Homo-oligomer: A and B are copies of this chain.
Amino acid sequence: MSLLIRRKELDFLLYEWLHIESILDKPLFAEHSREIFDSILDTAQKIAEEKFAPHAAEVDEQEPTFDGEKVHILPAVKEALDAYIEAGFLGIHFGEESGGMQLPYTLSQACASLFYAANVSTAAYPLLTVGAARLIESFGNEEQKARYMQPMIEGRFFGTMCLSEPQAGSSLGDIRTKAEPQDDGSYLISGNKMWISGGEHDLSENIIHLVLAKIPGGPAGVKGISLFIVPKLHVNEDLSLGEQNDVSLAGLNHKMGYRGTINTALNFGENGQCKGFLVGEAHRGLFYMFQMMNEARIAVGLGASVLGYTGFLHSLDYARNRPQGRSPEDRDPTSSPVPIIQHADVRRMLLAQKAYSEGALALGFYCAKLVDTIHTSTESEEKKELSLLLDLLTPIAKAWPSEYCLKANDLAIQVLGGYGYTRDYPVERFYRDNRLNPIHEGANGIQAIDLLGRKAMMKQGAAFRLLLQKVHGTIANTRQWATEQNNEAIQEYAEALEKAVETVTSTTLALSQVALQGKSKLFLANASVYLDMLGHTVIAWIWLEQAWAAAQKQHGGSESEGNFYEGKLQACKYFYRWELPKIKQQAQLLESLDDTCLNMPESAF
């Protein structure tokens, strides 16, 4: 059995729940078919298992090094990436005119899931490259697409995203990297960038840095940020490589996890010779970045979910095979120990992992499908509405999985006990890798402020109402079905979800009053609790959706399918019995406008 992601899980999410084959009706995907989707998933799984997974532990132990001249990366990384490129995965979501496969974003995320599960460090390189190429595709000119994007899709060049600086991480408005306009239309870039994954290596012929910088004289703060293409080696018109641009490696960062992905501090323009090329218009850099932000944040959440998921499968495998202890009812010390999966507390730890990671994964896929629907929709009202919904869900899809699937990895370690704490098993690596996800692409505290301060309130709560509408739709549909089928379990969850939605709605209203009174500090003080509360409610909704899909399929299939659907139903039950009730205390705390944290005097810490 594969310990990456169960194929049945992917099939269930893609076809039985989200029905992504319906997207084949759209002209953009008309040339595809479910058979093509399936064979691409097969290929992804094969490469993930055969090329990515085998060196995952090794590249964690032998992280990239810099000898002062050159960086060294385990050769297996390049071999895996070459196979990935060879199979065309870099272009999976790009249009055919760019040499891509023109496949739905949802499918690309399903494939990405397999690579993440196998080896998140190695998978980071192509995912960054795709992100950079997508930026050029969306906002670059034709010449930039031909010169930089095209070779990235082909895998000749890799890409990076250079946003943070040593003094500016969460607060990008404070970046200091400068871009001075030159007579030839290019810019001279100078500054220091921090936390640049894939910033230096020989895995590709060239590296294309997408750099945020400020053009002198522009507006202060985020409104004065522009986006530049800064190649490591200049690219000639015939796409051959020219001389070195003035980008130099200042050093490597040594992290707790994600150790296989080289992470760098880069100096741009140390010798005053670093050329950059403006993407789109001046001062619109952060706006462009934000256009891609939803996808980047969904990808982070999905990566977190997948680490939770594969950790679950690994600990499940261990729990089935490790004999230890006896039932509380068995007092005979000469009886044989039982596999630990028989202990209730081990089941709790497995079920929690399952509920967290499958719930999170499903939310990620739901969001990915929204991206596809928005992209292919021809109705402007639908496009607008779904975009609003996606905007609202994005901070949840990023932050919730990165918190709860880390917790899942924590439980995976606990299931394995002392063995789980050693580097002989991968669960401690998943835990270390996953710890990055609450930090990067906007720390979770930033996501919380984005959710409560912006998304839930925008357009007089329009996005929030859209979410309510979707959730109420699910409640109505499942309730009707449960009544017809006499399904008490689904009925129970639908009712619990309805109450949860009432709670969340009244809390949101109460908070919006505070915002209207202009008390912005008090309003935002406990935003993290709000994210957690709304996150739990959203995941409960996604679980009801999954449980309903499973309940409809539960009978009549093979035994293993029956088991799969039963597992979905039980995990849903776990979420509704153990997790969802927690929102009540959170709602009370939020409605009390508790100011304990806000008003803690600095001197009293």
Contacts and interface: CB of A to CB of B under 8 A. Distances in A.
Interface of A: 164, 167-171, 173-174, 194-195, 219-223, 253-257, 316, 320, 323-329, 333-334, 337, 341-351, 354, 410, 413-414, 417-418, 420-424, 428, 431-432, 435-436, 438-440, 443-445, 448-449, 453, 520-521, 523-528, 563-564, 566-567, 570, 573-574, 577-578, 581-582, 584-585, 588-589, 592, 594, 596-598, 600-605
Contacts of A600: 347, 350-351, 570, 574
A445 B414 CA distance: 9
Nearest to A584: B585
Max chain B Cβ within 10 angstroms of own Cβ: one of A219, A420, A439, A592: A439
Contacts of A444: 414
A597 B348 contact: yes
A253 B419 CA distance: 9
Chain A to chain B: the 7 pairs with minimum beta-carbon distance, closest first: A221-B333, A567-B604, A344-B525, A345-B445, A348-B597, A256-B428, A566-B604
A164 B582 contact: no
Nearest to A346: B445
A440 B423 contact: no
Contacts of A588: 581
B570 A521 contact: no
A589 B576 CA distance: 11
A422 B598 contact: no
27 contacts: A168-B324, A170-B325, A220-B333, A221-B334, A253-B418, A254-B423, A255-B423, A256-B431, A328-B521, A341-B605, A345-B448, A346-B445, A348-B528, A350-B600, A351-B605, A354-B605, A414-B443, A414-B444, A414-B445, A417-B439, A418-B440, A428-B435, A563-B601, A570-B596, A570-B600, A570-B604, A584-B584
Contacts of A604: 563-564, 566-567, 570
A447 to B, nearest CB: 11
Contacts of A422: 253-256
Given A329-B520, A574-B600, A584-B585, 4 more contacts: A170-B417, A221-B333, A254-B424, A349-B445
